Structure 1
């Protein structure tokens, strides 16, 4: 009897072991399936800005190119309000399953610096960057007395706070103005007129002298001759705008990169982010995508999560220094 009982015990243990191994195998397979099957439904891309602006346009171009790579629709949702914080908060509060993604730019850094929110890009999982805007400029109207950066600086130095510059306090263009003042020693009359369209309206109406913006946002006005750029804040002249001098050529070492990043809630699984990132890198290589992006004088540049975070950290350090200069003012 003892021999039979012993054999039964050994047999039962063996069956249990086999069942356990099978269960582990099924679990691993299920985990693998989760990774390989993402995404299984449309992905919402949250743009914390209104329709028609550069953030919205660039996001839609990228989303269209990425759909072919990731195999599911990317649905762009515009969430406006509070300088972009309404949109970033929506993503931060979303379920971290890979189906809600943020598409934004440097302002996510500024919102933290100015105390509008208590988080920034480093509190999320950055998926990467697919485009850089190096076409940042100072615009004047066609009737402006300023034809060059030198003329602007000379007049502004002789007439402190007489040159009016449109911006939205706390925005990227505001930082550009501060950087320009810091480098040249001029003092502008900084006028908070609102967003991109408000700045354009102010310049058209002759209410301001200068508008900092991106070339792509005013392409029609440049082609009509209504607006004239005094230069671009880039290391080198833009390939598609070779006649526009850089600020550096004109003695102002001011280089600005507007970085369009995509990011997930911080607890999103790494394998999900990796799948999305791979699709992004392939989309940037797509010739159709590159041609679309270049129409607005933008650079189709892919930065992986590590490269993107490093670039954003450099920008963050610059902004923090500028903010310190204005604290208490």
Structure 2
């Protein structure tokens, strides 16, 4: 492990471990005393927004203060991430931030923040990557998808922007399977769904939960899920790993604040989120809104992000995606 990366990893994990071990002291006993702002770096209606509003309504009950969701879209999420990084670390401004952007933007360019700029409170939802084909294609498995790409020059797959989960999932599949696809970039998931339905492309990459919502009633056959285990959202769909193709990638949404948030406040919020994740009403709502929950505490969340940072840096070094 390079010395700079090792130092970077130690700093983030040390901060997370300190926050996890910190008791809720008198300083945080009256927290919160006013509304909290929860920044979403994308527009209304997307996965991050749904998570923010779902969690927010339950967090209000536990904390006794309103949660104000603020959409700050732009630059592939960078505008909203900037807003979280630049916020006062007083425990009243957080964001629902997601991978891969939180990790890949600093690899692609030099924003004014890095992973060191944040306090990671909890991982919340992990929506795994998938690839869908048209039901008329005759393709039902990952092996058949890869074989078709080998036979056909320029096998097209719709994706949402370079550097997105969908685009990087295709790039990772290429690397593992030793094939090449032709990504066709669309600005939004609904356009990817429409393109596949109209057979403008041979396949489409999307996160599982969002894809199921957008593709309901449209031609959309999943060949596999890019997760370690099958998803409860589609238990009948095997993973890529089960099918002999070790590709795991997804969009992990987490509760993140600016660096310097008092440790007792991070612990208070982590405890509140854990309480909510045990609430049957919350769990039922998450299922209805296609949110595959994955609760990670501060330490596990920081480790996940640092592992993702290492994976995507290696992918970038092998073949930059911009």
Q: TM-score, normalised by structure 1?
A: 0.84
Is contact 2:124-2:294 (8 Å) kept?
A: yes
1:311 CA drift (Å)? 0.9
Identify unmatched segments of 5+ residues in structure 1.
1-30
| Aligned residue pairs, count | 298
Alignment correspondent of 1:176:
169
How is 1:230-249 mapped onto 2 (pairs within 5 angstroms)?
A: 230-249=223-242
Note the alpha carbon deviations across 1:238-270, whole angstroms, 9 max, x for none: 234222111112211112242111111112222
Q: Residues 66, 327 of structure 1: CA spacing in aligned structure 2 closer, same or farther, 3 A cutoff? A: same
Q: Does 1:167 align with 2:167?
A: no
Q: 3-state DSSP class of the match of 2:293?
A: coil
Distance 1:44 1:247, change over 3 A: same
> How do residues 136-285 of structure 1 correspond to structure 2 at under 5 angstroms?
136-220=129-213, 223-224=216-217, 226-285=219-278
User: Judging changes above 3 Å, is the alpha-carbon distance between structure 1 residues 191 and 71 closer, same or farther for their aligned structure 2 residues?
Assistant: same
In structure 1, distance between residues paired with 2:62 and 2:157: 46
1:251–1:283 Cα change, 3 Å = same
Deviates further, 193-202 or 146-155: 193-202
Q: Any conservation in 2 of the 1:238–1:297 contact (CA below 8 Å)?
A: no
Contact 2:231 2:292 in 1 (8 A): no
SS of the residue corresponding to residue 146 of structure 1 reads coil
State the alpha-carbon separation in 1 of the partners of residues 214 and 72 from structure 2. 27
Instruction: Give, in whole Å, the separation in 2 of the partners of 1:76 and 1:109.
Output: 23
- Once the two structures are TM-superposed, the CA of residue 74 in structure 1 deviates from its matched residue by 1.0
Q: Specify the SS of the correspondent of 1:157.
A: helix
C-alpha distance in structure 2 between counterparts of 1:120 and 1:280, whole Å: 25
Structure 1 residues 239 and 284, CA, compared in 2 at 3 Å: closer, same or farther?
Answer: same
Task: Quote the Cα distance in structure 2 between the aligned partners of 1:124 and 1:144.
Answer: 45
The structure whose Rg is larger is 1
Counterpart residue number, 1:112: 106
Higher helix share: 1
More divergent stretch after superposition (76-85 vs 223-232): 223-232
Which range moves more in the overlay, 40-49 or 294-303? 294-303
| CA spacing shift, 1:221–1:77, aligned 2, 3 Å | closer
* Mapped partners of 1:300, 1:74: distance in 2: 20
**Counterpart in 1 of 2:18?**
none
SS, match of residue 55 in structure 2: helix
